C-alpha cells in the first residue's frame, strides 16, 4: 500500500513538473507574444522569461517586430488621359503595437494590399501618362502617407513604399520607343551641326590669322626693303659727299675739273639722249684731249 502511495506521489510530482515546464516561455529578440486570459487580452510579453497559468492563459499570437517587405502583384490602373497600365509596388512596414496588430484588423497583409491598390488607382487617376512615368517619387510619398495614416490603428508603421515597375500597353511602349529614337536622332543632328559650325569657325579663324600673318610679313618685308633702299641711298649720298669733300680738299686745277666733266658727258652720251649741249670751255678741252690721243698714237 505504501508503495502505491509513493508511486502516486511521484506521478503527481512528475505531472506538476511537466505542467510547470510546459507553461514556461522564453520570448526571443525582436518578438512579442500577445497573451489572453480566459479569452480576454491579458498583456504582451517582451523579450525574456515568462510563465503562464495552465489552462487559463493562452498565447493568442506571436508577433515579429522586424521590418517586413511585401511585394504586391501588378495592379491595373487608368491614367487621367485614359491609358491603362500595370504598376506593382513594394511596401516596407513594421509592427509597432502587437495588441493593435492582433485585434485591429482580421487580415493585416490583405488589408494593406487592398489599401495600396485603391490608393494607387486614386493617385494615378489624377495624373497623365507622362506624369505617371516621371513622378515616381511623388507617387511613393503620397502612397506612404495614406497607408501610414490608415494602418496606424492596426499597430503598423509604413516605413517606405516603392513603385517597382510601371508597364504601359504595348502600343504605348512602341510609340515611346519611336519618340525616344527620334529625340536621340534630333540631339545627334544638333550635336553634329554644332560640331560642323565650330569646325567652320575654327577654319575661318585659321584663314583669318594666316592672312593677317601674311600681311604682317609683307609689311615687314616692305619696311625692310624701304630701309635697305634708304640705307643704300644714304650710303651713295655719303660716298658722293665724301668724294666731293676729297676733291675740294685736293684743290684740283681747272683742267682736271674739265676732264672730269668731260667724262660725265661721255657717260651721258652713252644713254638715250639724242642731243647734248657742251659748254665752250669744255669744247676746247675736248679738242685738246683729242690732240693728245693723236700724239699718243703716233
Q: What is the 3-state secondary structure (H, E, C) of 203-232?
A: HHHHHHHHHHHHHHHHHHHHHHHHHHHHHH
Residues 37 and 87 in one domain: no
CA–CA separation, 177 vs 179, rounded Å?
A: 5
197-207 tens-digit pLDDT: 888 888 888 88
Question: Is residue 181 a part of any domain in this protein?
Answer: no
> What pTM was estimated for this model as a whole?
0.56
Choose the final residue of a domain: 168, 198, 214.
168
Rounded to the nearest 10 degrees, the angle between the axes of helix 136-151 and helix 108-125 is 140
Domain that holds residue 39: 20-61
Average pLDDT over residues 230-244: 79
pLDDT confidence bin for 252, thresholds 50/70/90: low
pLDDT confidence bin for 20, thresholds 50/70/90: confident
88-109 tens-digit pLDDT: 899 999 999 999 999 988 888 8
Residues 106 and 31 in one domain: no
Choose the final residue of a domain: 168, 191, 222.
168
How many domains does the chain fold into?
2
Task: Identify the pLDDT of residue 262.
Answer: 56
Residues 157 and 107 in one domain: yes
Residues 98 and 47 in one domain: no
Residues 84 and 100 in one domain: yes
**The CATH number of the domain where 134 resides is what?**
3.30.479.30
Residues 72 and 157 in one domain: yes
Q: What does each C-alpha distance from 39 to 59, 103, 112 come to in angstroms?
A: 10, 12, 27
132-161 tens-digit pLDDT: 888 888 899 999 999 999 999 999 999 999
Task: Identify the pLDDT of residue 266.
Answer: 55
Amino acid at each position: 500500500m505504501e508503495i502505491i502511495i509513493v508511486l502516486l506521489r511521484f506521478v503527481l510530482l512528475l505531472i506538476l513538473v511537466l505542467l510547470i515546464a510546459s507553461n514556461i516561455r522564453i520570448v526571443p529578440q525582436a518578438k512579442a507574444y500577445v497573451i489572453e486570459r480566459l479569452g480576454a487580452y491579458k498583456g504582451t510579453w517582451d523579450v525574456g522569461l515568462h510563465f503562464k497559468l495552465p489552462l487559463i492563459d493562452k498565447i493568442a499570437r506571436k508577433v515579429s517586430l522586424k521590418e517586413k517587405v511585401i511585394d504586391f502583384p501588378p495592379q491595373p490602373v487608368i491614367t487621367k488621359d485614359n491609358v491603362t497600365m500595370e504598376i506593382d509596388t513594394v511596401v516596407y512596414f513594421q509592427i509597432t503595437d502587437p495588441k493593435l496588430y492582433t485585434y485591429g484588423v482580421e487580415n493585416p497583409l490583405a488589408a494593406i494590399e487592398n489599401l495600396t491598390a485603391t490608393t494607387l488607382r486614386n493617385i494615378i487617376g489624377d495624373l497623365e501618362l507622362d506624369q505617371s512615368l516621371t513622378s515616381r517619387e511623388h507617387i511613393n510619398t503620397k502612397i506612404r502617407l495614406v497607408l501610414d495614416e490608415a494602418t496606424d490603428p492596426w499597430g503598423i508603421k509604413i516605413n517606405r513604399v516603392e513603385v517597382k515597375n510601371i508597364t504601359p500597353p504595348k502600343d504605348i511602349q512602341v510609340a515611346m520607343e519611336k519618340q525616344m529614337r527620334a529625340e536621340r536622332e534630333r540631339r545627334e543632328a544638333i550635336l553634329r551641326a554644332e560640331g560642323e559650325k565650330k569646325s567652320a569657325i575654327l577654319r575661318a579663324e585659321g584663314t583669318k590669322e594666316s592672312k593677317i600673318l601674311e600681311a604682317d610679313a609683307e609689311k615687314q618685308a616692305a619696311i625692310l626693303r624701304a630701309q635697305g633702299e634708304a640705307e643704300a641711298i644714304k650710303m651713295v649720298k655719303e660716298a658722293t659727299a665724301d668724294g666731293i669733300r676729297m676733291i675740294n680738299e685736293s684743290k684740283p686745277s681747272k683742267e682736271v675739273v674739265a676732264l672730269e666733266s668731260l667724262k660725265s658727258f661721255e657717260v651721258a652720251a652713252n644713254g638715250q639722249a639724242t642731243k647734248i649741249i657742251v659748254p665752250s670751255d669744255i669744247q676746247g678741252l675736248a679738242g685738246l684731249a683729242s690732240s693728245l690721243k693723236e700724239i699718243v698714237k703716233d
